[in-house]
Amino acid sequence: MKVLVPVKRVVDANVKVRVKADHSNVDTANLKMALNPFCEIAVEEAVRLKEAGIATEVVVVSVGTKAVQEQLRTAMALGADRAIHVETDEELVPLSIAKLLLAVQQKEQAQLVVFGKQSIDGDNNQTGQMLAALADMPQATFASEVKVDGDNIVVTREIDGGLQTLKMPLPAVISVDLRLNEPRYASLPNIMKAKRKPLDVHSIADLGVTLKAHQTVLKVTPPAERQAGIMVSSVEELVEKLKNEAKVI
Amino acid sequence: MTILVLAEHDNAHLKADTAKVVAAASAIGGDIHVLVAGHQCVEAAKAAQSLAGVTKVLVADAAVFANHLAENLGKLIISLSADYSHILSAASSVGKDTLPRVAALLDVAQISEVIAVASADTFIRPIYAGNALATVQSLDDKKVMTVRSTAFDAVAATGSAELVSVDNALDARTEFVSQTLTESARPELGNAGIIVSGGRGMGSGENFAILEQLADKLGAAVGASRAAVDAGFVPNDLQVGQTGKIVAPDLYIAVGISGAIQHLAGMKDSKVIVAINKDPEAPIFQVADYGLEADLFDAIPALNNLL
């Protein structure tokens, strides 16, 4: 079984971004970049499926500028076998990414596509579901447990208020949540090895996909800053303030 | 302009999120229809009829919709979509699962977690864990979007919409196996007036007992930071933050939570924030209205005694 894992390069989770002075976008120049944390969990799950003898090959794919090859190498250092880079300098909406991934999936014919549930920059939480729709595949989002059972996959999902388990025929799309696994660290030998793994580059035109404009970002502004309040010195004072000043209890 | 709102419900009850999404629809303007898709969901549909501003409630009552699976809901919405200019849902686990499928099949982009409506085609949504707000103008003929329900006030229950059944024959491919929902007498995180949340400082899952005691005294819901979920103290459905629940209660009490940006993203719109932490440098104090520098294992029992 071949597993395809789409991944994204994002600003590192520990960096606080700032909005540009002209409100055109956030300023990501010179910020530390990383593999999106949920994509890391997705790669880990695919690699574990391979280690368990269920997956035969793990292919990672990313859409973006040449810089995303750094994250593709990271994913290969974590155990992916090869990588596909769809090169574009344009910032694309999730639907356009999903269309490009559909073209990749049609070439690769993966039985399972594993996404991170959302990227921590756009916070869209869309691409996996969109690929599933375009490819007419069943989907299980927000996975916290994944079991492949012959031609089916059984997925436990994190839903509002609890857990839900679904069973669906392969090929299928899943998106992973936080608790699915704890990703490994790449070892130095594996980082070296990843440099020699195959990485194919395609343009959007190579894939035969035509994209269209769906939206315009008119401006990006900073949110209203919350002002720090006061420090209280005791539990008694806190209760008094909450009762008489804030009047919330 | 006619807007379709996907109702959030558990068949027996309409969830409060629906009235908030209808409020977002009212801000766009136009006729508002609510789709209640479920199984034996007549009670939820009746509740939807009373939402102010709604003119029609569409009911799709069939076993395939019982568990709100995205594929089935997606197909249903697509079959109805010709009549609508906007399709909205809450940014709930059902909405986030379903609407991107709908958008992709309609060949339109989805706008996620809308917090404000600027006009019928322009919306504001948070990006980067709420550290920036993007004003996005849609160029698509249909707008598909999820709404962050904490950003809108529920419409009143003063309406009397017409009830209409919709045809819904479809085959399900995905099989529902089971579901376990956390049983709790406490209010739901998304709609609680007061939330008491614990972080890594709680030290263990057992120690959450003192927070639960506090929550019960205040009639509050219990939440947690991602650190507490990662450490295995509590289940993920309690997680408040960028990738968990987004909440905005009247009072949010953060206990033993340092205040990572990902956590702040989930709670900084709360009306009053209290932080209890023994580290005076903890970033949570920068957003708290009332900060108490104290060992939580002293402060929380003392608070429980006082209340």
Our count of domains for chain B comes to: 2
Contact A217 B135 (CB under 8 A): yes
* Pair (B53, B141) in one structural domain: yes
Q: How far apart are the first and last CA of chain B?
A: 51
- Tell which residue, B138, B99, B102, B103, has the closest CA to residue B118: B138
B161 and B193 in a single domain? The answer is no
| Within a domain: B285 | yes
Alpha helices in B65-197 (DSSP H): 70-80, 93-106
Q: Within an 8 Å CB–CB cutoff, is residue B82 touching chain A? A: no
Average pLDDT for residues B220-227, to the nearest whole number?
96
pLDDT at residue A225, rounded to an integer: 85
Written as one letter, the residue type at B199 is: G
The token duo for A178 is 């936080």
**Confidence (pLDDT) at A27:** 95
Rounded to 5°, angle at Cα A10 from A9 and A12? 125
> Beta strands A2-6 and A112-116: pairing type?
parallel
pLDDT of residue A104: 98
Encoded amino acid at B128, one letter: Y
Q: If phi over 0 gives left and psi between -120 and 50 gives alpha, with beta otherwise, what is residue A68? A: alpha
CB contact under 8 A, B174 and A166: yes
Residues 60-89, chain A: which have Cβ within 8 Å of B?
none
Q: Is the pLDDT of residue B191 over 90?
A: no
The confidence score (pLDDT) of residue B184 equals 84
Q: Look at residues B24, B81, B84, B31 and name the one whose alpha carbon lies nearest to residue B56.
A: B31
Nearest CA to A64 out of A126, A13, A121 is that of A121
The stretches in chain A having pLDDT less than 50 are none
CB B56 within 8 A of CB B80: no
- Residue B65 CA to residue B36 CA, distance in Å, equals 10
Selected for mutation to probe chain A from B68, B87, B97, B246 (highest A CB count within 10 Å) is B97
Q: Is B172 part of a structural domain of the chain?
A: no
Q: At what angle do helices A94-108 and A127-134 cross, to 10 degrees?
A: 50
Residues 139-198 of chain A with CB under 8 A from chain B are 139-142, 144, 154, 157-169, 177-179
**Strand spans (E) along A65-212:** 82-87, 112-116, 139-149, 152-159, 162-169, 172-176, 199-203
Q: Of B71, B236, B291, which is closest to A144 when you measure between CB atoms?
A: B236
The answer to whether residue B244 sits within a structural domain is yes
What pLDDT, in 10s, does the model give residues B175-189? Answer: 999 999 888 889 989
CA distance B19 to chain A (A): 18
Domain membership of residue B71 (yes or no) is: yes
* In a shared domain, residues B128 and B257: no
The pTM of the full predicted model, rounded to 2 decimals, is 0.94
pLDDT in tens, B117-149: 999 999 999 999 999 999 999 999 999 999 999
The verdict on residue B96 lying in a domain is yes
Q: Based on the structure, what is the number of domains in chain A?
A: 1
> Residue A156's pLDDT is what?
97
Q: If you measure CA to CA, which chain B residue comes closest to A226?
A: B287
Q: What contacts B247, CB < 8 A, 6 or more positions away? A: B150, B189, B190, B192, B195, B223, B240, B266, B267, B270
Give the distance from CA B225 to its chain's centroid: 17
Residues of A in contact with B237 (CB under 8 A): 158-163
Sequence-distant (≥ 6) Cβ neighbours of residue A136 within 8 angstroms: none
Instruction: Residue A129: name the closest of A144, A120, A142, A110 by CA.
Output: A142
Peptide bond into A171 cis (omega under 30): yes
With contacts defined as CB-CB under 8 Å, which chain A residues touch B69? 166
Q: How many CA atoms lie within 13 A of A167 on its CB side?
A: 9
Is a pLDDT exceeding 80 seen at residue B168? no
Examine the domain organization and report whether B144 and B238 are in the same domain.
no
Give the CATH number, domain containing residue A73. Answer: 3.40.50.620
- A29 contact B CB<8A: no
Residue B250 or B183, more confident: B250
Give yes or no for B223 touching A (CB within 8 A).
no
Among partner residues A93, A121, A125, which is closest to B127 by beta-carbon distance?
A121
Domain that holds residue A134: 2-245
- Among the partner residues B133, B229, B273, nearest to A178 by beta-carbon distance: B229
Chain A neighbours among B 126-165 (CB < 8 Å)? 126-140
End-to-end CA distance of chain A: 57
Task: Give the CATH number of the domain where residue B284 resides.
Answer: 3.40.50.1220
DSSP string of A15-77, one letter each residue: PPPEE-TTSSSEE-TT--EEE-HHHHHHHHHHHHHHHTTS-SEEEEEEEESTTHHHHHHHHHH
Q: Do A168 and B173 touch (CB under 8 A)?
A: yes
Angstrom distance (rounded) from CA A190 to CA A187? 5
Q: Nearest Cβ partner of B133 from A16, A129, A220?
A: A220
Domain around B15: 2-165
Q: What is the pLDDT of residues B22-48, one digit of tens each?
A: 999 999 999 999 999 999 999 999 999
Looking at residue B223, what DSSP letter applies? E
Say if residue B286's pLDDT is above 90.
yes
Predicted complex ipTM: 0.94
Question: Is B88 inside a domain boundary?
Answer: yes
Cβ contacts (< 8 Å) between A170 and chain B: which residues?
A: none
pLDDT score for B32: 98
Q: Are A80 and A48 in contact (CB under 8 A)?
A: no
The answer to whether position B181 is within a domain reads no
- If you count residue pairs, one on A and one on B, with CB atoms under 8 Å apart, how many are there? 251
B13/B70 same-domain check: yes
If asked whether residues B44 and B156 sit together in one domain, one would say yes
CATH number of the domain at B75, please: 3.40.50.620
* Mutant choice from B15, B73, B110, B240 vs A, greatest count of A C-beta within 10 A: B110
Question: B140 with B11, same domain?
Answer: yes
Mutate to test the interface with A, among B106, B179, B295, B303 (most CBs of A within 10 A): B179
Stretch 35-54 of chain A: residues touching chain B, C-beta under 8 Å: 38
Half-sphere exposure of A10 (CA within 13 A, CB side): 24
Strand pairing class (B110-114; B86-90): unpaired
Contact between B179 and A98 using a beta-carbon 8 Å cutoff: no
Rounded to an integer, what distance in angstroms lies between the CA atom of residue A237 and that of residue A232? 6
Contact (CB<8Å) B101/A127: no
In a domain, B18, yes or no: yes
Tell me if A231 sits within 8 A of B292, measured CB to CB: yes
Give the pLDDT confidence of A98-149 residue by residue, as tens digits.
999 999 999 999 999 999 999 999 999 999 999 999 999 999 999 999 999 9
pLDDT at A151: 95
Q: Please classify residue B147 by burial: count the beta carbons closer than 10 Å to its beta carbon, then call 0-12 exposed, 13-18 middle and 19+ buried.
A: buried
Q: Which residue has the tokens 């593709």?
A: A72
CB nearest to B122's CB, from A122, A124, A218: A218
Judgement on whether residues B152 and B51 belong to the same structural domain of the protein:
yes
- Looking at residue A18, its pLDDT comes to 94
